[in-house]
Structures are given as C-alpha cells and as structure tokens.
Structure 1
Amino acid sequence: MRVVIAVVVVVLIMALVGWLRFSSPAGNPTIQVDTEKVKEDTSILVEKSKQVVDQAAEKVDASIERDPVERNPVEPEPVEREPVEQ
C-alpha cells in the first residue's frame, strides 16, 4: 500500500511541475512526458547543487586557513569523595 501511495505522490508532483501531461484527444486517454523540461530542470538542479558544494568547500578551506585559536584547557577540580560505609 505504501508503494502505491508513493507512486501516486510522485506522479502528482511530476504533473504539478509540468513534466507529465494528461489528455484525452478523440477519447483516447494519454500521458505525455515532457523530456526536454525534465532535462532542463535537472541540469539546473545539478548546476545549483555544484555551486552550493563549491561555496561550502570554500568556507571550509577558509576556516582551515585561519590561525588556530589557542585554547586553555580547564583542568577539572579534584572531587573529594566521602568514604562509603559498608
């Protein structure tokens, strides 16, 4: 049942985005896939994701190149424990 729901959701999303078109010319129901729009949209998505990854890599490189901040580790104070009576 989950698979059927997932397929229906994917088909609806594809129709809303404009990748699928439903029509019935002359009484024959048809489904058309706009492959050019799919290619355009996916290439735009790939380019944008590359830009985001490049920006993230630049930020990481910039943070590595900065001088490390000296940190003074705080030593924990010794804890005195009371003897346990048995």
Structure 2
Amino acid sequence: MIKVKMIKKNNKTTITASGHAEYSSCGSDIVCASFSTLLTHTINNCTNVSVSDNDGVLTAIFLDDESIENKTLLKAFENTVGQLVSQYGDYIAITF
C-alpha cells in the first residue's frame, strides 16, 4: 500500500510518501503509476520545494504553499489523491 501523509503548517506543506500499491505486477501497476506521476508533476511544477528520498520514503517540503501557483497545484494534488483513494482504497491511503 502507498501511504501518503500531508501536513499543512505555517505557510508550509509537507508531503511524505512510502510503500508500493501492489495493485498489479511491476510495470503495469496503474495505481503506482498514477500516484508517481501526480507527485512528480506537483514537485516539478511548484517553486521553493525541498525533496529527500531516504530508504524508500520520499519527503517533499513546499516552503511557500500560499503562492497562487503552489496553492493551486497542492490543492489539485490533494483532490486527485483523494480520487485515487476513493477508487483504489485498498492500495493507497492519505492522512492529514
């Protein structure tokens, strides 16, 4: 299961993600591919982002979550992960 944690505090949003969806075999897992694409898109298109990947746990810290661009992309991330959870809740979960 992919576990996502999203914390909003003091004009900063932290997203932590770990695990594997295991919806399907490696290379054809649509849940993993969808989430990976969504997270990569969000990180690559926001500004003032710090990213680390330690032992399979990816942490992205968005240092200015109130800029209009970051705010829009982070809200889209939150909404889309919510849709993934509603459709594939056995394979991905999010906590706030």
What range is the shorter-chain TM-score in?
0.3 to 0.5
Q: Which has the higher strand share?
A: 2
What is the TM-score when the length of structure 2 is the normalising length?
Answer: 0.29
Higher relative contact order (CA 8 A, sep 6+): 2
Q: Which has the higher helix share?
A: 1
